[in-house]
Chains A and B, each alone.
Chain A
């Protein structure tokens, strides 16, 4: 696999990148901070030493769509054409802050939805131009139902999930597999301020599940997998019940 990862320096993206290099795959990281990228490239290079995988990086900022083309060009050159694009990057903030700070809300909506879609479109075109590949994007269970505690963040992810489903319907026949990952609560730096529910996942377990999903060409996975049933119940609840509960 020749994978480009946007967001591979932290959390679930970091765990996924590590698994990939340990499996001998080539990995190219995209991210905002050069220093952070360099440190992750060093880490992956040492970890991948046995599988002789190749690791590189280029700057790319989800807040700035102007950086997308250059970043994908760099990945193409370094990897000699990639076949997999993974997006784990995103912005999270708690509802109270988003309600209080309109600028932050705009950023979350733009980064998680509009700009991620723009990035995926650029990646999709490149993959399709060479016959297809895999586009694996991290959305969230927060987008499955309108919920009080994640009104804004959830909306951004709902839009993204919707887009990814459409993409999979539209292009699978042409060889592009879209994998939408919906993590439930996963213990990362991003969620460190929140108290974890009973079946909180670890980035390592998520990475393993995501790799399997990519290999099996699954269009949608919930991880930890218990969330699939939790969200099924939540989706079935009538509105008047949703209104009353704080979930």
Chain B
């Protein structure tokens, strides 16, 4: 018989629609719930298996009911909150007061705990680094059920392994980080068409020093001269003079600047769609004020868009190719992707700045490329081939998006893994904390 707050044998599903079964616990008391639990999960926006239970009997804590703000100092911008506090609420409360999180991922349906565990990066990575770089303090429940605090100065090993550590070093209970003061809640954006991938990489590198935020959508099915054409966007916060007088209205359902295909995603439809998307943008540079939601979270406009990929779901392949691999590395990557038939409706490209202190944080100086791969019979083979390329170029993949990378591949692309494993072992010698991903990838 089920007890209130506990769901035995509950199916847990990730954003890419991978599923697992666990004993799910959720209440307003994260500190109590996390006792003896194998893993925490937030709003389940990770695509792969990082927020899924390793075994059916595992206790999994769902954090979103623990969402209280514990302190906010309007002088320093320091905000402390429970780990289940979401970015949706944060933005709803603070945008109009002139504050924004220092780093935001491309969806606001994430929790603080999830942002730390994935050490998320945003459009401003080349300037501001990952979210973890702005975290000043955390309270965790470690594997041996102790409550421990850590910061860049206290229990630093635990701090560095928890930032980007995919929940494997402890349950994050509270997070304190520094918010950013913004001059207005509106974005000044400039966007333009880019004819091919080489121009794209140059465009990103050129825009970086001038713009705090950059990113682009690319067409990753066109071949030949059009390979990697797309739209490059750069933005900054609008000044009070430029900004409209009213704060941005809360929009329930935004309209995407294009229509998302709800029908079967196949190379033909994807090609047509990309063509349209590219041509919809005027030839000349477009500038103007845009709603922060349309700039930061275009995909949130459509609820449950992940269902567009059908029952088998999809995975996202995101890798970063280091600058040292040469400016042609992204082109070679796209050529390989199209050869493998990995048609993706849209592909996101971003240039990354310096590596952060999180032991398993994803970004490194270079170019990040993210593509959605609808799950097919050959998905494993596609991921294997892409990984072989990435390893060869000295790059790596993003754990929070991954559901297919083989352990030997990850080991080959992650020289920091032994350091992470040592800290994990020190704080969890019995290996109590685990996820489906950690068992698949690290063997425990």
Contact = CB atoms under 8 A, between A and B. Distances in A.
A108 to B, nearest CB: 12
B68 A193 contact: no
Interface in B82-127: 82, 93, 97
B149 to A, nearest CB: 16
Contacts of B74: 49
Interface string B271-302: 00000000000000000000000000000000
A46 interface: yes
Interface stretch (B1-9, B225-233, B355-363): B1-9
A192 B26 contact: yes
B71 interface: yes
Contact of A189 (B2, B4, B68, B97): B4
A13 B372 CA distance: 41
Interface stretch (A54-62, A63-71, A92-100): A92-100
B2 A193 contact: yes
B72 A46 contact: yes
Nearest to B4: A193
B310 to A, nearest CB: 23
A192 B7 contact: yes
Interface in A143-173: none
Interface of A is mostly: helix
A71 to B, nearest CB: 21
Interface in A190-205: 190-194
A10 interface: yes
B379 interface: no
B77 to A, nearest CB: 13
B260 interface: no
Given A9-B28, A47-B93, A50-B97, A192 B70 contact: no
A11 interface: yes
B2 A194 contact: yes
Contacts of B70: 39, 42-43
B216 to A, nearest CB: 36
B151 interface: no
Contacts of A92: 4
A116 interface: no
A205 B54 CA distance: 35
B264 to A, nearest CB: 29
A93 B29 CA distance: 18
Contacts of A14: 28
Contact of A42 (B4, B26, B68): B68
A191 B6 CA distance: 9
A40 B69 CA distance: 8
Given A189-B4, A190-B5, A42 B69 contact: yes
Contacts of B5: 189-190, 192-193
Contacts of A39: 68, 70, 82
Nearest to A47: B93
A43 B2 contact: no
A96 B1 contact: yes
B4 A93 contact: yes
A50 B72 CA distance: 13
Interface string A178-215: 00000000001111111000000000000000000000
Nearest to A35: B31
A43 B69 contact: yes
Interface of A: 9-11, 14, 36, 39-40, 42-43, 46-47, 49-50, 92-94, 96-97, 188-194
7 tightest A-B contacts by CB?
Answer: A189-B27, A43-B68, A193-B2, A46-B69, A46-B72, A193-B4, A192-B5
